[in-house]
Amino acid sequence: MQKIGVFVCHCGTNIAATVDVKAVAEALGHEPGVVISRDYQYMCSESGQNLVKNAIKEHKLTGIVVCSCSPRMHENTFRKAAASVGLNPYLVEIANIREQCSWIHKDIATATEKAIILGKAAVAKVHLNAPLTAGESPVAKRALVIGGGIAGIQTALDIAEAGFDVDIVEKNPTIGGKMAQIDKTFPTLDCAACILTPKMVEASQNEHITIHSFSEVTDVKGFVGNFTVTIKKKARYVDETKCTGCGLCTEKCPMKKVPNEFNMGLDNRTAIYIPFAQAVPKVATIDPNYCMMLKNGKCGVCSKVCSVGAIDYKQEDRFIEQKYGAIVVATGFNPINLDKYDEFAYNQCPDVVTSLELERLMNAAGPNGGTLLRPSDKTHPHKIVFVQCVGSRCDDSKGKPYCSKICCMYTAKHAMLIREKYPDTEVYVFYIDVRTPGKNFDEFYRRAVEQYNVHYIKGMVGKVTPRSDGKIEVQASDLLADEQLHIDADLVVLAAAIEPDKTARPLATMLTTQMDTNDFFTEAHPKLRPVESATAGIFLSGACQGPKDIPETVAQASAAAAKAIGLLVKNSITCNPCVAHSDELMCNGCSSCEKVCPYGAITYIDKEFRMPDRTTAVRRVASVNPAVCQGCGACTVACPSGAMDLNGFSNSQIMAEVDAICK
Amino acid sequence: METFTYYPGCTLRTKARDLDRYARSSAMALGISLEEPDDWQCCGGAYTTAKDEIATKLSAVRTLNAAKSVNRPLVTVCSACHNVIKQTNYDIIHDDEMASKVNNYLKLDEPYCGETTVYHYLELLRDVIGFDELAKRVVCPFKGKKIAAYYGCLLLRPSKALAMDDPENPSIMEDFIKAIGGTPVIYAQRNECCGGYITLEDKDQAAKRSGVVMRSAADQGADMIITACPLCLYNLKKNSGSELPVYYFTELLAEALGVKEENDE
């Protein structure tokens, strides 16, 4: 005979304001098998938990139902409480009467009725709950970091510091990411390369870190503690182990007209190239789209000049497979494409540039050796207009609905640096709002206005018209003075919105992690678990989770590393016992479940069965690997014969809930 | 020969005859038959944004329904007509209240629910004939001619309803210019308003705006400007103070196809 306890939480007024909790406790007390039904102000508090524990002991309860918040919030709390007094934690059921009831209803009568129904469904289910025991699975003591920008580098360094092996997979020929392209960093104006490149070198020299540059993750299998990842090492046509990075091949390569992506296409590179002087690894890469040898077999200069014989035109993509306990995503961001912003004439005029292009124009390793010159005629610009929020905070389909967060600060930085170096230059900044929260940030912006006399104008630029005399007409509104402005500028700089890297979405599919509508990775909890994804063992680092500046990125990168280390130090982790299993007598071997399983947990085996007529027969039946199964339930729905069932969410339990709701 | 219902609009009977007749002769040369409905009315010229105003939208619905009754797509060539008719069609589809009011008022044999597909003549060239195919039919290409496309404010906007091209960075007219052998000139003012609508109220403003457009095109080295809008053409020619020639795109099309001369009056 089942003895079930029901515990209804007020959650302060969160539930009690719209649900008559006493009526719920009273009603559920009459359900079959319920021997005790109580309500309490905060069931998750220590005294609330004690109430539950005492009731379990006193009434020798065989199952409990807690009517409270979402199971994502406190299911674990009550499972632990039950386990501490000897009740199997899987005999605890949560009826969510907060998120799915009190928060979304206004009428007390309706909400109370619904809360009672949800409670009844949980009682009906708990009658059928069976005690489950969680198994254990080992943890592979190695971490994978996807993305080798400042986020990925910091995460890898911190994990390596703790003594674990970590691999960085970077799609470009070098690590360093966007920070390597940036000239100076706010709010201290120190040079980005000076603080980044030592970290890059540290990463390459650390005995625990392996860098797979020019590589991509192509497949992820397994689960927390036990991921199997396939990494594609793209053919760079240069033997990494032989190349010394001397650069002779890049000097001699006759194909010199390849847009240089490191300098945002503002100058050219050769077909065989090392992205920049401090690249890590400092190894040449051949661009097959431009190399004449690879395209039509005529040239071969680089292989002739290479003294160590590192050039290999026949190199092919290689695939390596590695086991990891934890994966950290650090795929970063890109500025958006500005094709749809013709009003700013970005595609019409070379002197309309993005902020990242300006970084290169001002950088000592950039196309002009650090002197700010207009791309069109290499003259010094005397009047510069900055346009903020290009594509950020946009309510139409062209742009992004969010604030890109970093633009206000880097625009202030650009304006200040230009006024400092070229005092004869007039600088205008058009803004919607200036947003500079952060340590020493607002002071920085005020310095640009007050000390450097940058003209900050509230209002947006309506039209940018390039003229044949080289001037750029900027038409804008000054909202505070209520005036239309016409400025004849020499250079226009657009603070383009930032968006997640395009590789993030396919990666999210491989990792079975969630993304928001803007393709930023979703954290497990927006406040309390900001660096974990909802998928166990997958952590988030840097701008792949949302727009971030460098200090924030580094902080999050270290936080993600701490979480990954917390996982790697464990020798084994507790598995989820709510996994699928197959009734072999009912299974007809159709393979439907195998096809829908996203984790590859189902295989087919040939097994001998005794038949009714005392003969034996070999039949093909499904077999679930409980260590791989994540309990998603897809197979139970796909199985045509009803052989697949899920522990803790069996077909009979679900039907009992439905019956209770529909009664 | 493929047949389309063709709505010229009233301006094309008076001021903008060139826009109309070159559209017709070119269509014929391209193997397209344009059939005018029997009793069409003026489209109204401007689409009112008042939600509860339906009287001015009824004539557009009659035209759309005329095309529906013969089960043919509808082609228009004037920017303003195209704007009004496509917006009306869009609202009929997306605004149930307007659709029911319109139908209650018109009492058609069968209610009109946005069944007709509407093409601008340029879309006909791009989507039905294809610019590649058009390029093959050209006999007198505008080789070496630098031609600036003037979209104006109406041709592409509102982009959701008109669904013709990107309103800020369009390419349909530039692709047309390439198809007839010319070199398109991209200039910043190509999709800004010419001020034509306020000619009667404030001629100075119209002159100023049209001047800005013309200077921008001339500054980028254009030999001529083409447009699909009668009001723009008038305003750019008469008010801008610029000498840069302005033509309807259909005139250049007819010339490129070698059908201009014989149709000249």
Model pLDDT, residue B262: 53
Six-digit token pair at B92? 């009929």
Q: Is CATH 1.20.1050.140 the classification given to domain B2-121?
A: yes
Please tell me if residue A488 touches chain B, with a CB cutoff of 8 Å.
Answer: no
pLDDT at A629 over 90: no
The burial class, CB within 10 Å (0-12 / 13-18 / 19+), for A332 is: buried
Tell me the HSE value of A397 on the side-chain side, using a 13 A CA sphere: 5
Length of chain A: 663
User: What is the distance between the alpha carbons of residues A360 and A67, in angstroms, rounded to a whole number?
Assistant: 58
Contacts of B87 (CB under 8 A, 6+ apart): B47, B158, B161, B162
Query: What tens digit of pLDDT does each residue of A382-393 get?
Result: 999 999 999 999
Interface test with B, best of A396, A468, A474, A492 (most B CBs within 10 A): A468
Q: Supply the pLDDT for residue A576.
A: 86
- Closest CA relative to residue A152, chosen from A132, A131, A171, A133: A171
What tens digit of pLDDT does each residue of A428-439 get?
999 999 999 999
Q: So what's the pLDDT on residue B263?
A: 46
Beta bridge partners of A473: A465, A488
| pTM across the whole model | 0.83
Separation in Å, CA of A375 to nearest CA in chain B: 18
B185 touching A, CB under 8 A? no
Q: What is the mean pLDDT of chain A?
A: 95
* Proportion of chain A above pLDDT 70, given as a percent: 100
* Of residues B166, B188, B221, nearest to A348 (C-beta): B188
Q: Given a cut of 50, is residue B8 above it in pLDDT?
A: yes
Average pLDDT of span B143-149: 96
What are A483's strand-pairing partners?
A: A478
pLDDT of residue A613: 85
| Phi, psi at B10, each rounded to 5° | -70, -35
Give B34 to chain A, closest Cα distance, Å.
Answer: 34
A464: nearest CB among B169, B188, B220: B188
Question: B187 contacts in A (CB within 8 Å)?
Answer: 348, 465
Q: Could you tell me the CA-to-CA distances from A416 to A134, A419, A450, A456, B105 in Å, in that order?
A: 60, 5, 11, 12, 64
Residue B168 C-alpha, separation from nearest chain A C-alpha, in angstroms: 5
pLDDT band at residue B264 under the 50/70/90 scheme: low
Report yes or no: B240 at the A interface, CB cutoff 8 Å: no
CB A348 to CB B219 under 8 A?
A: no
Closest CA–CA distance from residue A242 to any residue of chain B (Å): 48
A340 contacts B166? CB cut-off 8 A: yes
More confident residue, A626 or A383: A383
Cα nearest neighbour of B185 on chain A: A348
Chain A and chain B share a number of CB contacts under 8 A equal to 32
Mean pLDDT of B176-191: 95
At B27, give phi and psi (nearest 5°).
-60, -45
- The CATH number fitting domain B139-264, selected from 3.40.50.11810, 3.40.50.450, 3.40.50.300, 3.40.50.1820: 3.40.50.11810
B contacts of A467 (beta carbons < 8 Å): 219
pLDDT-derived band at A338, boundaries 50, 70, 90: very high
Across chain A, which distance is largest between two alpha carbons, in Å?
A: 101
In the DSSP assignment, the letter for residue B167 is S
C-alpha–C-alpha distance, residues A219 and A232, integer Å: 9
| Whether A50 contacts chain B with CB within 8 A | no
- Specify the higher pLDDT residue, A610 or A82: A82
Residue B263 contacts A where some CB pair is shorter than 8 Å: no
- List, for residues A79-128, the tens digit of each pLDDT value: 999 999 999 999 999 999 999 999 999 999 999 999 999 999 999 999 99
| A92 neighbors A49 (Cβ within 8 angstroms) | no
Which chain B residues touch A347 with a CB distance below 8 Å? 169, 186
Point out which residues pair with A40 in neighbouring strands.
A9
Burial of A57 (0-12, 13-18, 19+ CB in 10 A): exposed
Please, are residues A79 and A22 in contact by the beta-carbon 8 Å criterion? no
3-state helix, strand, coil in chain A (%, to 5): 30, 25, 45
Taking only the tens place, the pLDDT of each residue in B196-245 is 988 889 999 999 999 999 999 999 999 999 999 999 999 999 999 999 99
Percent of chain A with pLDDT over 90: 90
Cα(A82)–Cα(A63) distance, integer angstroms: 9
Q: Check if the interface score ipTM surpasses 0.85.
A: no
How many angstroms separate the CA atoms of B15 and A605, rounded? Answer: 83
Alpha carbons A541 and A520: distance in angstroms, whole number = 11
Distance CA B101, CA B51 (A): 11
What are the structural domain ranges in chain B?
Answer: 2-121, 139-264
CA dist list (Å): A150 to A145, A197, A202: 12, 10, 12
Distance from CA of A55 to the nearest CA of B (A): 59
Distance CA A117, CA A115 (A): 5
Of the pLDDT bands very low, low, confident and very high (cuts 50, 70, 90), residue A397 is confident
From the list B166, B188, B220, the residue facing A463 with the nearest CB is B188
Please check whether residue B168 touches A, CB under 8 A: yes
User: Is residue A396 less than 8 Å (CB to CB) from chain B?
Assistant: no
How far apart are the C-alpha atoms of A358 and A421, rounded to whole Å?
A: 14
For A5-71, give the DSSP string: EEEEE-TTTTTTTTS-HHHHHHHHHTSTTEEEEEEES-TTSHHHHHHHHHHHHHHT-SEEEEEES-H
What whole-number distance in Å separates Cα of residue A646 and Cα of residue A641?
Answer: 14
- Residue A354: CB atoms within 10 A of its CB come to 18
Chain A nearest CA to B166, separation (Å):
7
Are B90 and B98 a contacting pair, CB within 8 Å? no
pLDDT digits (tens, 9 = 90+) for B96-106: 999 999 999 99
Q: Rounded distance, CA B84 to CA B89, Å? A: 9
The answer on pLDDT for B118 being more than 60 is yes
Count of CB atoms within 10 A of residue A524's CB? 19
Give residue-wise pLDDT tens across range A139-154.
Answer: 999 999 999 999 999 9
* Average pLDDT of span A564-572: 96
Quick one: DSSP state of residue A337?
P
Q: How far is CA A268 from CA A71, A201, A296, A347, in A?
A: 56, 26, 22, 19
Single-letter amino acid code for the residue at A281: P
